[in-house]
Amino acid sequence: MKKIFSFVAIAAVLGFAGFASQANAADGKALFQTNCAACHGANATGGVGPNIQGKDAEDVIGAINKVPMMISLKGSITKADADAIGNYLASLANVKDEQEEKKESKKTSGMKSGMQKMQMQGMKKGKAMAKSVSTTILRSRKTAIAMGRRLFKESSLGTNGRSCNSCHINMGKSEKKGPMGAMNFINRKPYPHYFMMAKKVLSLDQTINFCIQMALKGKALVWDDPKLTALNAYISSIHK
């Protein structure tokens, strides 16, 4: 019975302490507006004096004792007043942190939404492109190269909105490396050759499918797909 009584008593004291802290902060606001707001701004964000959101009672007492413009308050601000003002300033910092977290959360949510929208657009575009080429019959090398050039810069091969040109910049003809160290296709060794990312020797068709799956997050093309033939034709046409 004594233990239960002790527990209730402690809980009551803690609850009262929390209530007292809130009341203390409320009193501190009134004290702040009367004594501090003229220099530090209505919300303690700064004015003639600096931003003091997040400061505590020790900071308030230290400023009254050391800052020349505040020494005049030394006789009128008691320890209890300083505690109340300190609690109020701390509560302002908490509100600011919550606002920053909400802003960051909203920003992150917007970025995710934008990425999802981009992916959906890429998927829709990819399906439309797949439908348009699924019945294509390549009757000449020139036709295959033209189709491969178009596919190279389209996002239809994957689901993340990227294209072959996203990594193999300048349509695979750049002398500079692209993202993830992607090389150009002009001065590459004859296929098949050792492909560093796959860690094995690949043919050109296998290399194309590896990139589609890994970099574009798409599905590998089957051996008789005209898209695979077209990409092979375009890359072969710029390969020296």
Domain boundaries, the chain: 2-109, 136-238
Q: What is the CATH number of domain 136-238?
A: 1.10.760.10
Two domains, one topology: 2-109 and 136-238: yes
180: Cβ contacts below 8 Å, ≥ 6 apart: 167, 215
> So what's the pLDDT on residue 205?
93
What does the block give as tokens for 13? 């004291």
Confidence of residue 155 (pLDDT cuts 50, 70, 90): very high
Helix (H, G, I), strand (E, B) or coil at 134: helix
Helices 226-238 and 141-152 meet at what angle, rounded to 10? Answer: 90
* pLDDT(114) > 80: no
Across residues 212-238, what is the average pLDDT? 92
Mean pLDDT (whole number) for 127-144: 68
AA identity, residue 70:
M
Cα(32)–Cα(41) distance, integer angstroms: 10
CB 175 within 8 A of CB 166: no
pLDDT higher for 231 or 31?
231
User: Considering the domain 2-109 in this protein, what is its CATH number?
Assistant: 1.10.760.10
Q: Give the pLDDT score at 144.
A: 92
User: Does the predicted TM-score (pTM) go above 0.85?
Assistant: no
Output the pLDDT for position 54. 78
| Lowest-confidence pick of 17-21, 39-43, 45-49, 187-191 | 17-21
